[in-house]
A = this chain, B = another copy of it.
Amino acid sequence: MNKISFRNDYSVIAHKKIIEKLNNFKNEINTGYAEDYHTENAKKKITALIKRNSDIYFLTGGTQTNMVLISAVLRPHEAVIAASTAHINVHETGAIEGQGHKIITVNKTDGKLTVEDIKKILDNHTDCHMVKPKLVFITNATEVGTVYNKNELKDLYEFCHKNDLYLYLDGARLAVSFSACDIKLDDYAKYTDAFYIGGTKIGSPLGEALIINNKELNKDFSYLIKHFGAMLAKGFVPAICFEALFEDDLYFKLGQDQNEKASYMTKKLKEIDVKLRYESPTNQVFAMLDNEKIKELEKDFIFERWDEKTVRFVVAFHNTYDEIDLLIEKIKNN
């Protein structure tokens, strides 16, 4: 197939720097189950960036990371609050409920929770006949490409802590949040109880780095990872990938590069009067096109339909300005 893909940001095995590093260490003997020096080294790199002595674990994928963290934190009757658009609510095949926990949802078109949303839920959950809200789940960048800014994150965190709630942030696409808002990596560590730095969607073959900032949440965490079938024998594999991602700022550079390209795409789409479904400053672009145009585009490009009138273009590390120009050209000429 010679079609150009804007389908998603997990279509290529790995960024070349990661493959290179795996190749370099291919004859090395390491201890299994994350007790190796690569794991230590990757943790050190992240610790330096978050400026905090958090606990760090490398897991395989996003759904798994959400499932393990949320199940480790909540007791059986406790629930997690999330936007209706949240990945855990829509696209994890009931993984959170599967481990016993209700997701209390708030209908949000922009994918972002506010203090007011959470307050209403607390006001409404007052006795033992209802679940007890205990964890707030947010995502940055969100599933619709929007971002929280630092003040919004801080407000949520402070409200949570005043109300005996934990705040957890899903960072599947954290890489593209940095150049789209004013939150730095150390802010994420400061203003959440736990969050994860996504690897899979920014050039790693697998791997998410889960950062637990609140020591209360960390008790026996390795047991829990194993219990939920999430412990890799070769824990050094994702660790090496994160070593590569945090070498020479690769992680941040890739994120910024994708945003710039997506921004270029957005600008070009607006120039040819294509309406956008969400105001996304990150690497997902939601273009509203009519059905015939979409069918025409599908001959040369790969992308997803979002809803009846919208398609989603995702800019990944391997996409080029030329590919974007070809897409714009095609849309314009149909």
Contacts and interface: CB of A to CB of B under 8 A. Distances in A.
A31 interface: yes
Contact of A228 (B5, B23, B25, B95): B95
Interface residues of A, number: 78
A26 B14 CA distance: 6
Contact of A63 (B62, B99, B100, B226): B226
B206 A63 contact: no
In terms of DSSP, what is the predominant structure of the interface of chain A? loop
Contact of A97 (B31, B102, B128, B219): B102
A23 B90 CA distance: 34
B61 A77 contact: no
A90 B104 CA distance: 10
A292 interface: no
A79 B221 CA distance: 15
B130 A232 contact: no
Number of this chain's copies in the complex? 4
A28 interface: yes
A237 B13 contact: yes
Given A10-B32, A60-B60, A97-B97, A234 B222 contact: no
Interface stretch (A67-75, A265-273, A326-334): A67-75
A67 B129 CA distance: 14
A318 B25 CA distance: 13
Nearest to A5: B29
Given A61-B232, A232-B206, A234-B200, A226 B11 contact: no
Given A7-B31, A75-B224, A97-B97, 12 more contacts: A33-B129, A60-B232, A76-B99, A77-B93, A77-B98, A77-B220, A77-B223, A90-B130, A94-B101, A98-B100, A128-B225, A229-B229
A229 B13 contact: no
B13 A234 contact: yes
Interface in A37-87: 60-64, 66-68, 71-72, 75-77, 79
**8 closest pairs, A vs B, by CB?**
A64-B229, A128-B222, A77-B223, A93-B226, A94-B102, A94-B131, A77-B227, A67-B229
Interface string A207-230: 000000000000110111111111
A240 interface: yes
A109 interface: no
Nearest to A32: B10
A48 to B, nearest CB: 25
Contacts of A76: 71-72, 94, 98-99, 224, 227-228
